[in-house]
Amino acid sequence: MRSVGIVGIGHTKFGKSEVPFMDMVCDAALQAMDDAGAKTGRNNVIDQVFVGTMGAGMVNRISGTASAVVDTLNIRPAMAETVENGPASGASAIKLGFMAIASGMCDCVLIIGAEGMRAVTGWEGTDFVATMLHPESEYKYGATLPAFAGMFTRLCMDKYGLESKDLSIVSVKNHANACKNPCAHIHSRVVLERITNPAYINATNPIVADPLRQFDMCPVSDGAAAVLLVAEDKKDALGFGDKKFVKIAGMGSATDTHVVANREVPSDLLAVRLSAKMAYEMAGVGPEDIDVAELHDAFQILEIAESEEVGFFKRGEGHLAARNGETALTGKKPVNTSGGLKAKGHPLGATGVSQVVELVRQLRGEAGERQVEGAKTGLAVNFGGFGNNVVSTVLTTK
């Protein structure tokens, strides 16, 4: 299997986009191409474009996004496909790009993840996200992602002694990290006392889906991120010889029951565990080798649970590690240095690519104030549905 790596990255500011959806998508793509030194027109070396997005057709009324990107950026006749896997669309697009190069079919692939979620109202957005649930057993009965997250949180509280304050500790950490990330949606520090004190918690941090409160979940965001992948054996010939090469050392993908109620152990996230195991095995590393991680914290309980499923901490001890500062920027196992979905934002299709962009910055030593000293190996977990389709990625520097 050919060695595949990243030579270019791009990332728009997450939040409320001031430009049309396609302009945002192409902005991230051009940033990645410029970072790598890739050209358009007759000098184009890009063989394939994959765009990961869940709702461009449903929300933004744009289908065939990848084809439009190829034409707009003048990189014809590159192959082009749009990829949909819910909130894991971005990482799925990267996986397909990795497979295309590893197989020998392509030498250079452009991946873009994007979502323009704020084009609709909050209620419409909630319904749009809920369409990823099982259509007959969940969605038609009014189930939503916050509802599932609330029930999952209650299970973890009852089983492991996790408290509401533990979710707030993770939230405060991620907001602090986002303040150091120019691309983050939210640049506001959060004081633990303000979101946990019973005297004013209902005003500053109201219940959304019991026991989850406003600061226990991510905002609704627009945004796009992009990476340019190349085969290591073609890196010099394609003109990327002087670019830092961050290797995609391992990828894993796994599914669980689509109907959450059918899971044997509802407090487990089996697809996270299995996808991380596959990525570790391909990369020849273990959880102890990971220097920095981006975990999918659409709800703060997920960062805690995923940190256990990927092997950073024992089952039921992830919240204790967060209490002790082990996942902080200067802790033993820094998690979500970007601010995570909680404060960096969560444009669904963009998130998986954004996670990888953050890891590339960390492994290149280009993360500025949020740089993890000596980071050489990173893990990203992109969570689809409520854990029914998960993609994990391990990146390393050579």
pLDDT greater than 90 at residue 386: yes
366 token code pair: 């280009």
- What does the alpha-carbon distance between residue 151 and residue 132 come to, in Å, rounded to a whole number? 18
Number of H helices, E strands in the chain: 14, 11
Closest CA to 174 of 355, 362, 344, 368: 344
**Mean pLDDT to the nearest integer, 126-152:** 94
368 token code pair: 């500025």
229 token code pair: 């992948």
- What does the alpha-carbon distance between residue 36 and residue 33 come to, in Å, rounded to a whole number? 5
pLDDT greater than 80 at residue 94: yes
Number of Cβ within a 10 Å radius of residue 279: 25
Task: Give the position of tokens 């949909």.
Answer: 84
pLDDT greater than 90 at residue 214: yes
What pLDDT, in 10s, does the model give residues 328-355?
999 999 999 999 999 999 999 999 999 9
**Mean pLDDT to the nearest integer, 196-220:** 92
- What does the alpha-carbon distance between residue 240 and residue 225 come to, in Å, rounded to a whole number? 20
What pLDDT, in 10s, does the model give residues 239-297?
999 999 999 999 999 999 999 999 999 999 999 999 999 999 999 999 999 999 999 99
Sequence letter at residue 208: V
Element (H, E) at 112: strand 108-116
Number of Cβ within a 10 Å radius of residue 41: 9
- Better-predicted residue by pLDDT, 107 or 122: 107
What pLDDT, in 10s, does the model give residues 66-81?
999 999 999 999 999 9
Instruction: Write the Ramachandran bin of 235: left for phi over 0, alpha for psi from -120 to 50, otherwise beta.
Output: alpha
- What does the alpha-carbon distance between residue 115 and residue 107 come to, in Å, rounded to a whole number? 27
- What does the alpha-carbon distance between residue 58 and residue 171 come to, in Å, rounded to a whole number? 31
- What does the alpha-carbon distance between residue 349 and residue 113 come to, in Å, rounded to a whole number? 5
- What does the alpha-carbon distance between residue 151 and residue 118 come to, in Å, rounded to a whole number? 26
Distance separating the N- and C-terminal Cα atoms of the chain: 17
Q: Specify the pLDDT at position 264.
A: 94
Q: Specify the pLDDT at position 233.
A: 97
% of the chain exceeding 90 in pLDDT: 93
- What is this structure's pTM? 0.97
Quickly state the pLDDT bin for 43 (edges 50, 70, 90): confident
Q: Specify the pLDDT at position 282.
A: 98
**Burial category of 162 from C-beta neighbours within 10 Å (exposed 0-12, middle 13-18, buried 19 and up):** buried
Closest CA to 205 of 218, 192, 214: 214
What pLDDT, in 10s, does the model give residues 215-238?
999 999 999 999 999 999 999 999
8 Å CB contact between 27 and 19: yes
Q: Specify the pLDDT at position 199.
A: 82
Q: Specify the pLDDT at position 278.
A: 98
Question: Which 3 state secondary structure label does DSSP give 10?
Answer: strand
**Mean pLDDT to the nearest integer, 20-33:** 97
pLDDT greater than 90 at residue 155: yes
Quickly state the pLDDT bin for 213 (edges 50, 70, 90): very high
- The structural domains of the chain, ordered by start, are 4-121+220-234 (3.40.47.10)
Question: Which 3 state secondary structure label does DSSP give 325?
Answer: coil
Closest CA to 254 of 285, 277, 275: 275
- What does the alpha-carbon distance between residue 356 and residue 5 come to, in Å, rounded to a whole number? 11
Task: Give buried/exposed letters for 222-240 (b at 16+ CB in 10 A, else e).
Answer: bbbbbbbbbbbebbeebbb
Quickly state the pLDDT bin for 156 (edges 50, 70, 90): very high
Residues with Cβ within 8 Å of 181's Cβ and at least 6 positions away in sequence, in order, are 338, 339, 344, 370
DSSP annotation of 365: T
8 Å CB contact between 113 and 93: yes
Closest CA to 45 of 236, 301, 191: 236
pLDDT greater than 80 at residue 117: yes
Q: Specify the pLDDT at position 200.
A: 81
Q: Specify the pLDDT at position 215.
A: 95
Q: Specify the pLDDT at position 194.
A: 85
pLDDT greater than 80 at residue 398: no
